[in-house]
Amino acid sequence: MRTTILLIIFVTLVACKNEKSTETAIDTPVEKDTVQNPLIYPEETHFKSLRQVTFGGDNAEAYWSFDDKQLVFQSNYKKWNVSCDQMFLMNADDTFDSVAPPMVSTGKGRTTCSYFLPDNKHILYASTHLGGEECPEVPEHVPGGKYLWPIYDSYDIFVADLDGNIVKQLTNEPGYDAEATVSPKGDKIVFTSTRSGDIELYTMDLDGSNVKQITHELGYDGGAFFSPDGSKLIFRSSRPKTEAEIKEYKDLLSQGLVAPTQMELYICNADGSELKQLTNLGNANWSPFFHPSGKKILFSSNFEAERGFPFNLYMIDIDGTNLTRITHGETFDAFPVFSNDGKKLIFSSNRNNGGGHDTNLFIAEWQD
């Protein structure tokens, strides 16, 4: 899943910094004017304004409707009467504190990775509810050990209307099917699946037909997004190289687990051709999303961190040059997603949470 919300767990438990990243040059924009908004750190010059949307729980993976009027996101906020991640709907100008937004998933099982369909009247998301109505168990973390991420084989991808009624099941293969996103062209879905025995990317038509495998190398490939013109895919990958790494990866996968502490970004054409590694920074580079120009990628990384955190947002050209730091938090910024008109950016952050563990949604007016 693009998360089952990694968030603060991921921040505190990711392995220490890979030394090779110290040689990477980063362009950090110089502050142009005094920033009045206390939510914006002085160096964050790409944010013209910033508004906090949620005020409690773990809120992440917010995605815009094609007309930019609404967003769908996942949350486990207990005050909203959920035990694990469920999907919620909001208008683009909404703010949620004491009043809960409408839930558009079933409230059963665990859900992840919702996305609007082009008609703006339906969403797709992955859910485990057919495998059981309770939240599936989360793997125990051993102190000092790697963070383990469950790949539940009960996940399938569904289409629902905005009243929460499931109208279609898109996948029905054994194993994990999740992490689905829709091309801005409105013709294709990309998703992650274990149907081959490994964790690979696939595309399909909006009705679930014409399934094609996109990646073919051993390792976890996931969290994919289309470019604005639908011609390319950007995704995160954790590909084991050494014999020991391969054994560990296969052993964990046989238990329905991955250890996503070392991930790099890859880019390819929408049919999987011309695949290339985009980053080589070390640590966890993930949650990539195309800049509206289609020529840059925004993503989250902790490659500069000495102890696994902070995670900040960075931007890089699609040829791997011009790495620029976008946010300057001390804990966690991730899941950046541009509106379709390119004017706004929604992301998740630990900022302004009173020093607690809550991860909230923020919407920025973007300026290049």
- For the cut 90, the answer to whether the pLDDT of residue 10 exceeds it is no
CA dist 257 to 157, 248, 249, 263, 285, Å?
A: 19, 10, 9, 15, 19
Mean pLDDT, residues 168-177 taken together: 97
- Can you give the pLDDT at residue 34? 45
**pTM of the predicted model, to two decimals?**
0.91
pLDDT digits (tens, 9 = 90+) for 129-150: 999 999 999 887 665 677 888 9
- For the cut 60, the answer to whether the pLDDT of residue 7 exceeds it is no
- Can you give the pLDDT at residue 148? 87
- Can you give the pLDDT at residue 141? 67
- Percentage of the chain beyond pLDDT 90 is 83
Sign of CA dihedral 200, 85, 110, 252: positive
Contact 199, 151 (CB under 8 A): yes
pLDDT digits (tens, 9 = 90+) for 333-349: 999 999 999 999 999 99
pLDDT digits (tens, 9 = 90+) for 196-215: 999 999 999 999 999 999 99
- For the cut 50, the answer to whether the pLDDT of residue 33 exceeds it is no
pLDDT digits (tens, 9 = 90+) for 251-271: 999 999 998 889 999 999 999
| Least confident interval from 116-125, 169-178, 258-267, 310-319 | 258-267
Q: 268, 289, 277: which is closest to 334 by C-alpha?
A: 289
Q: How confident is the model at residue 1 (pLDDT cuts 50, 70, 90)?
A: low
- Can you give the pLDDT at residue 105? 98
- For the cut 80, the answer to whether the pLDDT of residue 9 exceeds it is no
Q: How confident is the model at residue 27 (pLDDT cuts 50, 70, 90)?
A: low
Q: How far apart are CA 90 and CA 59, in angstroms?
A: 12
- For the cut 60, the answer to whether the pLDDT of residue 4 exceeds it is no
Looking at per-residue confidence, does 222 or 138 come out higher? Answer: 222
Domain boundaries, the chain: 7-366
Angle at 328 between CA 343 and CA 360, to 5 degrees: 65
Backbone angle region of 278, left / alpha / beta, with phi > 0 → left and psi within -120 to 50 → alpha: alpha
Mean pLDDT, residues 119-126 taken together: 98
- Can you give the pLDDT at residue 325? 98
Q: Which CATH superfamily is domain 7-366 in?
A: TolB, C-terminal domain (2.120.10.30)
Looking at per-residue confidence, does 98 or 72 come out higher? Answer: 72
- Can you give the pLDDT at residue 98? 76
- Can you give the pLDDT at residue 20? 38
- Can you give the pLDDT at residue 26? 66
